[in-house]
Amino acid sequence: MQCKICQNPVQKAFEATILERYLEPFYKCERCGFLSASEVHWLSQAYTNAINASDTGIVARNLHLYKIVSVIACALFGFSKSVIGGGARTRLDSNPDSNPDSNATDSSSTSQGAHSRDTHSHSTHSPLLVDFGGGTGLLVRLLRDAGIEALWQDEYCENLFARGFEWDHHAKPTLLSSFEVFEHLPNPMEQISAMLTLCPNLLFSTELLPCPIPPHQGKEAWWYYGFAHGQHISFYARETLEYIARQQGVFLVSHNGLHLFSQRKISPFVFATLVRLAHRGAFWILKRLLGSKTLSDHQLLSPSSRPAPN
């Protein structure tokens, strides 16, 4: 068997019990450090529910991530340029956290309601983030509330929180995000390559595989394996991500489980500093500058803002 990343011959590392019923081999590549299952015949059973019940960190993770994504999008990818440069702000800049319902009759709502659904038939001149594997849409909603133009994409999960803001494959993203997705990919090189072809800037998370690889069973078993739910099938070492970056012609920076593939070189120090500053005030400054989309999105999606049928 060959490594799914670098095509090097791999060795069986261990056998693990998946979904409490299948004993399956996992293979480790000594060249790039990648660890994965081979034949993943159980996926249809693993994805009876797209969000596995043991993912108790789903809300805390998104509340943590949206501030970091916002700061990185603005600092490295120009999402705040039109605002700082005097571009039009469309939304409740003075009161970004307002309840949409309580403001629906506000005098500002008439003109803003006429803004049309064009938030998503997106201007080619303004930056766009697409959240790949966006799950329930919670992150996209939080990003939009912060003022980031973000759209949702997911082939396997129902969009609950960002309805009306699905990516239609036409608008060209400036930045992709993809959180807790890489470890789910059965054909990672092909799927990551497709993402980078779409956009060479990809901010993502996955826990890096320690070296030597951690135990797969017993009290010391690595929590990230997740063999009980069976959705995690690909595990990346630092060397794996470096190999992918080289093959794809992009740069890589990482900090605390967050990684960025980028078209231009980003200083690791700058990346780490932005991640840290996101939770030390930088986010709140940016949010004031950007202006929340909470109310404008509400107006955009309200039946009263749609053109009357002929």
Beta carbon nearer to Zn ion, 33 or 147:
33
Cβ-based nearer residue to Zn ion, 181 or 241: 241
Assign residue 256 a region: left if phi > 0, alpha if psi is -120 to 50, beta otherwise? left
Looking at the Cβ atoms of 2 and 111, the one nearer to Zn ion is: 2
Residue 193: CB minimum distance to Zn ion, A: 15
Residue 191 Cβ vs Zn ion, minimum distance, rounded to whole Å: 16
Interface with Zn ion, residue 8, by CB under 5 A: yes
Note whether 187 binds Zn ion by CB under 5 A: no
HSE on the CB side for 292, CA within 13 Å?
16
144's enclosing H/E stretch is helix 138-146
Closest approach of Cβ 103 to Zn ion, in Å? 54
Q: Which stretch binds Zn ion (CB under 5 A): 22-30, 51-59, 89-97, 266-274?
A: 22-30
Helix axes 268-277, 58-77, angle to 10 degrees: 130
Determine the interface stretch with Zn ion among 24-32, 82-90, 181-189, 218-226 (rule: CB under 5 A).
24-32
Q: Left if phi > 0, otherwise alpha if psi is -120 to 50, otherwise beta: which for 193?
A: alpha
Select the span of 8-16, 108-116, 231-239, 254-262 touching Zn ion (CB under 5 A). Answer: 8-16
Interface segment toward Zn ion; rule CB under 5 A; list 6-14, 122-130, 166-174, 271-279? 6-14
Q: Is residue 252 within the footprint of Zn ion (CB under 5 A)?
A: no
| Dihedral angle of Cα 54, 55, 56, 58, to the nearest 10 degrees | -170
Closer Cβ to Zn ion, 29 or 69, answer by number: 29
Amino acid at 54: S
Dist. CA 133–CA 116, nearest whole Å: 27
Q: What is the largest CA-CA distance in the chain?
A: 67
Tell me the pairing of strands 129-132 and 175-179.
Answer: parallel
For residues 229 to 248, the per-residue mask of contacts with Zn ion, x marking binding by CB under 5 A and - elsewhere, is --------------------
Q: Which of 54, 14, 19 shows the shortest CA–CA distance to 36?
A: 14
Least distance to Zn ion, CB of residue 234, Å: 11
CA distance 162 to 181: 18
Indicate the residue among 248 and 299 with the shorter CB distance to Zn ion: 248
Contacts to Zn ion from residues 27-46, by CB under 5 A: 29, 31-32, 34
Residues near Zn ion (CB under 5 A) are 3, 5-6, 8, 29, 31-32, 34
